[in-house]
Each structure stands twice: as structure tokens, then as C-alpha cells.
Amino acid sequence: MRPFAASAPELVTGKGAGVLPRHVAIIMDGNGRWAKQRHWPRFAGHKQGVEAVRRIARAARAMGIEALTLYAFSSENWRRPESEVSDLMGLLRLFIRNDLDEMVRDNVQLRVIGDYRRFAPDLVALIDTAVARTAVNTGPILVIALNYGAQAEIAAAARRLAERAQAGTLDPATIDEAMFEDELDTRDLPPLDLLIRTSGEVRLSNFLLWQAAYAELLFVDTLWPDFDADTLAAAVEIFGQRQRRFGGL
């Protein structure tokens, strides 16, 4: 089976050949379809999706990728059936409890973007503990997007700058792209280099809209539970063949 969608842009060999992306983000899509193909409940697909998270987080570390951001739960996912949302929260709890010691041991920094404080208090406390325990680590960064929506992130950043301007502590004329980026959830991360979406869908679904301005986009046919280290390596190889001009020649 082809690993990449026919809609993926034609490769261009140029200055970027062989370059490793510093920051990769993935829209993890296709858990439900993976389960449906096997006549299994959707929960089985989400459970296998968690296994893919483990697999890809380890593969990214082994490859030397500095930051990996995974879209785990969007602000729109609340529209799903309550039972499915509950299943997803349960899997998140298990992932943190089962994998936190490994992240600490492997010097991984766990970070969370999005308004995860809307979750149940025990889950919020679990996330806070995990982030605090890995905060002193100096190795690769694993970012989980939870209750995240890029439009809300951008609106919140604009609101904070407006409040400072209204208070007289900020001259609106000095606001530029760098200042705006300092208000985003990703302010301490490397610039986004490569954004991958699995399952053949070709849209960003309100994910890292500002950050993706000059990222390379890749749309993959592979359903997320089947995404593995070889698929990630193929994506990185394609990234290395892209010519990134950033508006220049």
C-alpha cells in the first residue's frame, strides 16, 4: 500500500535535501476507520492509536527530532458521544501513568498546549504532575495538544496584547509577528518544520494555523494506528527533499 496520498505535493530536490526537521507535528487521524475496517468498536482504534503514539514518540527521539507535537484532543472533539470522550480521557490517564517514568528516564520534556483545565480535576492534576516531573529534562520535547484549537489560541493571544495596550503598558505600534508568537502556546518550541496528517484527509482542522505558515505539509494515506517508524522516516525523507524558500528565491 502506498504510504502517502496522491495529493501530496510533488517533491522538489534542493537546498533542504537531507535536512532533519527540528519540529514535527502530526494530526493523528483514522482511529475510527481503522477499527471499522476490522468490525471492532471505535475504542479499539483509539487504544491502538495510543500504541502508535508510543511508537512514534520513541522513533522521533531515536531520529534526533527536537520536538514532536501530537493533536490528541481538539476543542471540537467535545461534540463526540459522551462515551467516546470518556474513553479518550481514560486512555490519556493510562498513557500518562504508564509512560511517565520512561519519559523521565529518557530525558523527555512533556508539554501540553490547549485548555486542558476543562478536563476532570483528577486528570488535570495528573497532567500537571507529569509536566512538572519532566520540566527539568533537557532532551527532546513531546507536546500533546489537549482541548486545543488554533483559532482560540490566536484569539487569546490577541486579547492579551489588547489588554496590555489598554492598560498603557504596550504601544500597539510595536506589535509585530515576533511579539505575537511570544503569546502563543508554542512560544518556547522550535519553529514548526513539518506537519503531517494521517488517513488521507487534506485539511488542518484548526491545528497550529499560525505556526504552519511556512511548515511543509504532508498528507498520508496511512491510518494513525498503522503509522510506524518507517512511515515517519519516509515523511522525514520527503521533507529533506523539499526546497524551502520562505518567500525568497
State yes or no: is 77 an active-site residue: yes
140, 68 contact by CB (below 8 A): yes
The CB density around residue 202, as the number of other CB atoms within 10 Å, is 10
State yes or no: is 29 an active-site residue: yes
Where are the chain's structural domains? 23-149+191-241
pLDDT given for residue 249 in this prediction: 64
| Residue 35 confidence (pLDDT) above 90 | yes
Q: How far apart are CA 159 and CA 76, in angstroms?
A: 21
Q: How far apart are CA 63 and CA 59, in angstroms?
A: 6
115 labelled binding-site residue:
no
Decide: helix, strand or coil at residue 130. Answer: helix
- DSSP state for residue 220 in the 8-state scheme: B
CATH superfamily ID and name for 23-149+191-241: Decaprenyl diphosphate synthase-like (3.40.1180.10)
pLDDT given for residue 156 in this prediction: 98
Q: How far apart are CA 196 and CA 71, in angstroms?
A: 10
Cell match 506589535: residue? Answer: 175
pLDDT given for residue 15 in this prediction: 43
Q: Which three cell numbers stand for residue 209?
A: 494555523
pTM above the 0.85 mark?
yes
- DSSP state for residue 13 in the 8-state scheme: -
pLDDT given for residue 18 in this prediction: 61
92 labelled binding-site residue:
no
Q: Give 195's strand partners.
A: 25, 217
User: Among the options 77, 87, 115, 228, which is catalytic?
Assistant: 77
pLDDT given for residue 248 in this prediction: 74
pLDDT given for residue 91 in this prediction: 97
pLDDT digits (tens, 9 = 90+) for 104-157: 999 999 999 999 999 999 999 999 999 999 999 999 999 999 999 999 999 999
The whole-number average pLDDT for the span 237-246 is 88
83 labelled binding-site residue:
no
Q: Which three cell numbers stand for residue 1?
A: 500500500
80 labelled binding-site residue:
yes
234, burial (CB in 10 Å: exposed 0-12, middle 13-18, buried 19+):
middle
pLDDT given for residue 245 in this prediction: 76
